[in-house]
Amino acid sequence: MRLKGRVAIITGASSGVGYATARAFAREGATVIVAARRRDRLDHLVAEIAGEGHQGFSIPTDITDPAQVQRLIDQTVSLLGRIDILVNCAGGVLKISPIEQFTDSDWRTIIDTNLSGTFFATRSVVPYMKRQRSGTIVNLGSRVGRVGIANITPFSAAKFALAGLSQALAQELRPHNIYVTNIVAGMINSDLGPLNPDESLRRRLITTDDIAQAILWVCTLPPSLRVDELPVMPRQVDL
Ligand SMILES: NC(=O)c1ccc[n+]([C@@H]2O[C@H](COP(=O)([O-])OP(=O)(O)OC[C@H]3O[C@@H](n4cnc5c(N)ncnc54)[C@H](OP(=O)(O)O)[C@@H]3O)[C@@H](O)[C@H]2O)c1
């Protein structure tokens, strides 16, 4: 029970990496607050967690709306009195297209979901973590936030910016005993539409459970260690 007594907020928890991370954290004794837009998926997750004898609460949240994000953080503190971990998993590619086919609205959606949402959640959680003088924030970055990839230009740009946000925050928050890690992940076998790898490729990708274990490791580091950035790749695929 490596997270016994800890409170963790996980955004993007209705599927994929966030879902697997919420399950893994709950099994390690954390009380998890799961957030995303799809209420039914969150309720299903909370029921699964309760079925295993652990504790979770769902707070449906659109991460692109700063008022909803502030409410998520405030409600968590009213309910549980503290926030030890924030995992920013909400994200999305939206579409694969040449640049001229991305509309203004596509651009804003991708930037808001993958970058602004993490900014909103972090800005809202930090005052509580500073008061506690402890906290861990994990951001779901991407290999495409280190190497630009054609036809997902706005997503790649958002993940590059997320790497910068994470690095600057890591420096800013360390004196407050708050640690920030950017997970620079290669391709994961999730439902991150419209990436739709065929079955044989899917089998060679990182599993959501494996990423959840990497996130868990970051949240249970010994006190002598910090990890500002954690690159993780599938063993046999350079994607
Ligand atoms: N899959 C990959 O290959 C890969 C590689 C590197 C990094 N990542 C990153 O890993 C993270 C998780 O992705 P995944 O692969 O697990 O994909 P996923 O299964 O599609 O999960 C994305 C999650 O983000 C949530 N989300 C999207 N827009 C949202 C919004 N406006 N407000 C709140 N939640 C929102 C979705 O929930 P709702 O639709 O219910 O809101 C969903 O739970 C993302 O940040 C992604 O960029 C993925």
In a domain, 69, yes or no: yes
- Predicted confidence at residue 191, as pLDDT, reads 82
The answer to whether position 1 is within a domain reads no
201 in a structural domain: yes
d(Cα 3, Cα 15) in Å, to the nearest integer? 22
What's the distance, Cα to Cα, between the start and end of the chain in Å? Answer: 33
pLDDT attached to residue 196: 79
Query: CATH number, domain at 137?
Result: 3.40.50.720
Asked if residue 239 is part of any domain, the answer here is: no
Q: What is the 3-state secondary structure (H, E, C) of 84-105?
A: CEEEECCCCCCCCCCHHHCCHH
* 238 within some domain: no
Does the pLDDT at position 49 exceed 90? yes
**Best of 32, 34, 37 to mutate for ligand 1, by most ligand atoms within 8 A of CB?**
37
Per-residue pLDDT reduced to its tens digit, 62-91 = 999 999 999 999 999 999 999 999 999 999
Has residue 40 been placed in a domain? yes
Residue 193 pLDDT > 80, yes or no?
no
Is 2 contained in some domain?
Answer: no
Number of domains in the chain: 1
Ligand 1: centre distance to CA 15 (Å): 7
pLDDT at 200 over 80: yes
Domain that holds residue 150: 7-232
pLDDT score, position 134: 98
Band of pLDDT at residue 195, cut at 50, 70 and 90: confident
Query: How would residue 197 be classed by pLDDT, with cut points 50, 70 and 90?
Result: confident
Ligand 1 pocket member 234 (CB < 6 A) = no
> What's the pLDDT band for 97 if we cut at 50, 70, 90?
very high
Q: Is residue 97 assigned to a domain?
A: yes
